[in-house]
C-alpha cells in the first residue's frame, strides 16, 4: 500500500489544513493531487476554490530567445519548386500595420485600389470585357446571367489558385 494519505477517508479539517499549507507553499493543483491517493487535480482545484484559496505560480524560468529561422525551398505535389518559405512567421514591426479603426487610412487605400467594383444590383451581369463561360473552365465560378438572358454560365475571369471567385466577385461575396 501507499504511504500517501487517502483524500476520501481523511478527516476534512486535516485535509483542508494540508491543502492550505500546500497552496501557500506554491504547489499546483496537479502537484498537490499527487501527494494524496484517491484524488485528482479537479477535486483539489474545486476544494481550494470553495475555501477561497488562490494558486500562485512559482517563479517561472525565463524562456530562451527564439533562434532565427532559415528559409527553405518547398516543392509542390507535382515536384516543382514552389518557392522559399520561412519556417516560422517573421515578426512585423507594429508601424507596418494599419490600426483597425483607422478609417482615414482605410479610405485612402480604397481610393488607391484600381480594382473594378460592381454594385449588388449588377452582381449577376457579366463583367465588361469578360465573356461568360460554361461550367468546367478554370476561371471564376460566380454565376452570371450571360449576354442573351438567363442561362447556366459562369464569370470566367482569372482567379487566384484555391479561390472560387475572381477579385471582383470575392469582394462582392464578402460585402466589401
Tell me: the pLDDT tens digits for 30-50? 999 999 998 899 999 999 999
**The pTM is what?**
0.34
- 166 touches 155 (CB < 8 A): yes
Mean pLDDT across the stretch 109-131?
A: 63
- 121 touches 113 (CB < 8 A): no
For the residues of 6-31, what is the DSSP string, one character each? BTTTS-HHHHHHHHHHHHHTT--HHH
Rounded distance, CA 137 to CA 107, Å? Answer: 35
Identify how many contiguous H helices and E strands the chain contains and give both numbers. Answer: 5, 4
Mean pLDDT across the stretch 52-75?
A: 72
Amino acid at each position: 500500500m501507499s504511504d500517501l494519505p487517502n483524500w476520501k477517508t481523511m478527516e476534512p479539517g486535516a485535509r483542508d489544513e494540508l491543502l492550505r499549507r500546500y497552496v501557500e507553499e506554491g504547489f499546483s493543483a496537479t502537484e498537490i493531487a499527487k501527494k494524496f491517493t484517491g484524488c485528482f487535480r479537479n477535486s483539489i482545484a474545486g476544494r481550494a476554490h470553495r475555501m477561497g484559496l488562490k494558486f500562485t505560480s512559482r517563479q517561472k524560468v525565463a524562456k530562451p530567445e527564439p533562434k532565427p529561422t532559415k528559409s527553405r525551398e518547398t516543392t509542390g505535389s507535382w515536384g516543382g519548386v514552389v518557392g522559399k518559405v520561412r519556417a516560422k512567421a517573421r515578426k512585423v514591426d507594429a508601424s507596418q500595420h494599419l490600426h483597425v479603426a483607422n478609417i482615414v487610412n482605410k479610405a485612402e487605400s480604397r481610393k488607391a485600389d484600381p480594382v473594378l467594383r460592381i454594385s449588388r444590383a449588377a452582381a449577376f451581369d457579366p463583367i465588361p470585357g469578360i465573356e461568360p463561360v460554361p461550367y468546367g473552365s478554370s476561371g471564376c465560378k460566380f454565376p452570371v446571367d450571360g449576354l442573351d438572358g438567363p442561362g447556366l454560365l459562369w464569370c470566367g475571369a482569372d482567379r487566384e489558385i484555391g479561390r472560387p471567385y475572381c477579385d471582383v466577385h470575392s469582394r462582392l461575396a464578402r460585402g466589401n
